[in-house]
Amino acid sequence: MPESSHTQTRRNQHGDYPQAVSVEDFRRNLAAVRARMDAACHRAGRDPTGVRLLPVSKTKPEPSLRLAYAAGCRVLGENKVQEAFGKWDAMQDLADLHWSVIGHLQTNKARLVARFASEFQALDSLRVAEALERRLQAEGRALDVFVQVNTSGEASKYGLPPEDVPAFLNALPAFHALRVRGLMTLALFSSESERVRQCFVLLRTLRDRLRQSAPARIALDELSMGMSGDFEIAIEEGATVVRVGQAIFGARHLTDSHYWPDEPSSKEPRP
């Protein structure tokens, strides 16, 4: 899509996201992100109602999450299960606030996810699927899940290699408590927008191809891709969910290596 090929990543601007400290700040940031999302949809000839904004609240303290709630957020994304569980526990008074776990899960934490999360976006092993299934059955709950795919080829990133995804999907109908919604990816962390775009193109083409052959209970409608620095490119390439933290909550002062423990921290210099 030539007219959009110059959309830039904003990965060198992390320090530019001021902290949101009032409901007004959150309202303004949410409106600004939605305006950018709408513009990207417009460029791509897409209906803006086909793209969901998932605000990502990781590392931010409870008062900040409550402001986001007051500004209208009803689902929050968290990367670390323990942190998410603690926040859920502290905010049970907000009955209509839902939680999406977007980071790698260890099987020994599946019990927590089964208790409080409504969505899990980082499914990448049958061991985790089995652990979740068992715990969800025990809780009498179901969970929306996304299969995480490693589209950047970086050994340090979580997610299945694209070639392993078909067999993985074929195994998932056995897990009745998991409602498969689609695929999720993290793009290459780069200021070169064309290389970032290639990650998103890979996820979309994989989804389009697998849609034909996916087992009956496996829906592949959703593509979760794009973060503060690259969500416009992701939307141009078909994202149905964008996961946006810093552009809504303000910059994080820890490097992302803190959340993706295997990643070299040199990829994101401290602001």
Binding residues for ligand PLP, rule: CB under 6 A, are 56, 58, 79, 102-103, 186, 227-229, 243-246, 259
Question: Please, which residue, 58 or 197, has the CB nearer to ligand PLP?
Answer: 58
Q: Cβ neighbours of residue 131 under 8 Å, at least 6 residues apart?
A: 107, 108, 110, 111
Question: Please, which residue, 102 or 105, has the CB nearer to ligand PLP?
Answer: 102
User: Least distance from C-beta 247 to ligand PLP, angstroms?
Assistant: 6
Closest residue to ligand PLP using C-beta atoms: 245
Residue burial 22-45, b: 16+ Cβ < 10 Å; e: rest: eeebbbebbeebeebbeebbeebe
User: Least distance from C-beta 130 to ligand PLP, angstroms?
Assistant: 22
Nearest to 98 by CA among 121, 67, 77, 72: 77
Residues 248, 233, 257, CA angle at the centre, nearest 5°?
Answer: 60
User: Least distance from C-beta 78 to ligand PLP, angstroms?
Assistant: 9
Question: Please, which residue, 149 or 214, has the CB nearer to ligand PLP?
Answer: 149
User: Least distance from C-beta 17 to ligand PLP, angstroms?
Assistant: 8
Element (H, E) at 261: none
Distance, CA of 235 to CA of 43 (rounded, Å) = 9
Question: Please, which residue, 214 or 231, has the CB nearer to ligand PLP?
Answer: 231
